[in-house]
Amino acid sequence: MTIQTGQPLPDVPLAVVDGGERQNTRSGELFAGRRVVMFAVPGAFTPTCSEKHLPGFVARFDAFRARGFEVFCLSVNDAFVMQAWALAQGVPPGLKMLADGNGEFTRALGLELDGSAYGMGLRVRRFALVAEDGVVTALAVEAPGEFRVSSAEAMLEAIGG
């Protein structure tokens, strides 16, 4: 079942890359006591993810911070790939790159995507959410092949920006 607004985010292991540094943590710990906008991409270094989705959040990172929100990017990639992608994209320190290498968080959210037809295996659907103290307050899941409701612009509008 897909996570819904009003529900707490699942608590599972994740790797985080922030400012080029990797660390292991748990999602429950990561979201506790924070106001977060998290967006998810099917894969680091893939066209829409690298040309539009992540760059939009990088460009508007300060606008989210000014409204009191942290920004997290989630992908079913390992921490080394997320670290390299962050470096290649000029991700600012503070924009956390979440590596869900085994797809555990993605499956717990109910937002998995079968990319087997493209040689990608299990991936996460493109989406964005707002969470306050680990509880989802807004959720925008893209239709297959779309990139609209999970953009940085759409999420700024969702948080009143």
Using alpha carbons only, give the angle 124, 20, 75 rounded to the nearest 5 degrees. 0
Pairing of strands 35-40, 70-75: parallel
The conformation of residue 10, written as its DSSP 8-state character, comes to: P
Active site residue 73: no
Tokens 């006591």 belong to which residue? Answer: 33
Which residues does 15 contact at the CB level (< 8 Å), separation at least 6?
22, 23, 24, 25, 78, 79, 82, 98, 99, 101
- Which of 44, 49, 136, 155 is catalytic? The answer is 49
Q: Is the dihedral of CA 125, 131, 134, 136 positive or negative?
A: negative
- Cβ count within 10 A of residue 132: 14
Q: Which residues are catalytic?
A: 49
